Structure 1
Amino acid sequence: MNIEIDDRYIPTEHGDVFTRRWRTNQTRKTPIILLHDSLGCVELWRDFPERLAAATARDVIAYDRLGFGRSASHPGGWSPHFIRDEAEYFFRPVWQGLDIEHFVAFGHSVGGAMAASVAARYPRNCRALITESAQAFVEDRTLRGIRQAQAAFAEPGQLDRLRKYHGEKAEWVLSAWIETWLSEGYAGWTLAGSAPGFACPLLAIHGVEDEYGSVVHPQHIAALASGVTQTLLLEACHHVPHREHADLVIRAVDEFLYAMVC
């Protein structure tokens, strides 16, 4: 299948947001919108979006959240409610700027929590929800994994890995992730606070060896759904299934969306 890549910036009241769309010209199929993880951006999805577009024969769209990648700096006001805020305030102008009515929300890690919040807030528009390695609450394993990453990034030269993708925003990206999740004020966070429920079909993907969350997380996410739910647990898989087991993830997403006729 011929895939065309369309890069564009969408102006919002808080600054320009960078988006990339892998176009398939299959306009009758609902496009997939990808929401990245806490340190992620469009580029860090690597070749997964193009492969997903080709396999599902539908457009795939990714965007850099404000403060990340090529998008403008975050406008401030970062808080323990940042997941809910993304769905309520920042996602809408991006989605509307894409000139699409319906979409499939697919989020990795904290992007999965954001995708669930989007599904809950826009039930008429979100046709299906896919979460990958998403957290539903603050678990000891999550905090342990973040502390280990914090120590790793403190080593000389490690921050340069983030600067490659986020430029001068890299320090903010790292501190926003670490300081929020390790703060006392965030200890009681649960996904139910920003996504109290959603009716669209759900596919929850999780690696059994995920260093940031045990397999109870997809169970908690499924408990918020009132529609069809599917869970895919991947053996010998850590926090990035779409990189570690890309073929399995793409096949599962394709079969799920085909069955849901969306």
Structure 2
Amino acid sequence: MPDQTTHSESFYLATPFGQLFAKRWTSAGSQQTSALSPPQAAPFLLFHDSLGSVELWRDFPQRLAEASGRDVITYDRLGFGLSDPVTEPIDINFIALEAERFIPLICDYFQLERFIAFGHSVGGCMAVYTAAQHPHRCEALITESAQAFVEELTRDGIRDAEALFQDQKQLDRLARYHGERTRWVLDSWINSWLSPTFDHWALDSALANVTCPTLVLHGELDEYGSAAQPAHIANGVQAEVQLELLPGIHHVPHRENPDLILDKVVSFLKQSLN
């Protein structure tokens, strides 16, 4: 049964690029004074993965709000979930552009002076760029299963997924979350990462400008990125960093073992922000 002390509210944000769907979870703990969550503590801002959406986070945002005593905000990127659809091919610089174009708009809408950036997979890459581009607002950075550069393991995983989605049943499952946007969502992921123009993409320039405490989470069995990916992130940031390789975990740690991830995040906050 959902925790009645956690309230969620949905929003539609008008932007110059299209309307974004967002959701905010507010825990009773965020209204109280505690060592973990002081008054007006910075909320989490969650960034979803390449096929993700607000709803695909499932109950993790609620549980994160409950465990941390902080508000949690997440949104569907343009073209995903319940945000406005996109028809043109995704910009090859979409990772950096997300932090540049949309984060200031989201901060203005929710009146966020500070936040904790938490991103899964490519959302982790966007969280890195957000921390780099908005250091005065980003209090801490958490990456989960993020890629730091292009390696063949990542592309092999995408090719395997591409073959899997030839099955209409698999495509229909994704359509539950993206509706008419589904084909664009899938093509954007496949075509961007497999494009030759993406060969030399890397997070290095952004990592060099990350100055906030950073937690790097990565499953040892991640099918989209080797252990070299989190090591690259940890070695690149210019701040206190905690690297956690998670035994027996694949690409979606917050779904495979949410209790473990919540424990890691709460412990990181206690050590780094107090």
- Partner in structure 2 of residue 210 of structure 1: 222
- RMSD (Å) for aligned C-alpha atoms: 1.4
SS at match of 2:150: coil
Which of these residues, 13, 16, 19, is aligned with residue 19 of structure 2? 16
Unpaired segments ≥5 residues, structure 1: none
1:78 deviates by: 2.4
Return closer, same or farther for 1:209/1:79 CA change in 2, 3 Å cut-off: same
Which of these residues, 253, 259, 271, is aligned with residue 259 of structure 1? 271
Unpaired segments ≥5 residues, structure 2: 31-38
Counterparts of 2:220 and 2:194, CA distance in 1: 23
CA contact (8 A) 2:25 2:61 kept: yes
CA contact (8 A) 1:14 1:75 kept: no
Counterparts of 1:163 and 1:91, CA distance in 2: 26
Counterparts of 2:195 and 2:114, CA distance in 1: 36
- CA-to-partner distance for each residue in 1:109-142, whole Å, 9 max, x for gaps? 0000000000000001100000000000111110
The yes-or-no answer on 1:245 pairing with 2:260 is no
Counterparts of 2:103 and 2:207, CA distance in 1: 15
The yes-or-no answer on 1:173 pairing with 2:176 is no
Counterparts of 1:189 and 1:43, CA distance in 2: 29
1:75 deviates by: 7.1
Q: How many percent identity over aligned positions?
A: 48
- Partner in structure 1 of residue 8 of structure 2: 5
Counterparts of 2:128 and 2:120, CA distance in 1: 11
- Partner in structure 1 of residue 62 of structure 2: 50
TM-score, reference length from structure 1: 0.96
Counterparts of 1:249 and 1:158, CA distance in 2: 27
CA contact (8 A) 1:17 1:94 kept: no
Which of these residues, 84, 89, 101, is aligned with residue 72 of structure 1? 84
- Partner in structure 2 of residue 235 of structure 1: 247
Counterparts of 1:234 and 1:80, CA distance in 2: 31
TM-score, reference length from structure 2: 0.92
SS at match of 1:211: coil
Within 5 Å, which residues of 2 pair with 1:56-95? Answer: 56-74=68-86, 76=88, 78-95=90-107
Counterparts of 2:120 and 2:255, CA distance in 1: 11
Counterparts of 1:207 and 1:32, CA distance in 2: 21
CA contact (8 A) 2:86 2:181 kept: no
1:95 deviates by: 2.2
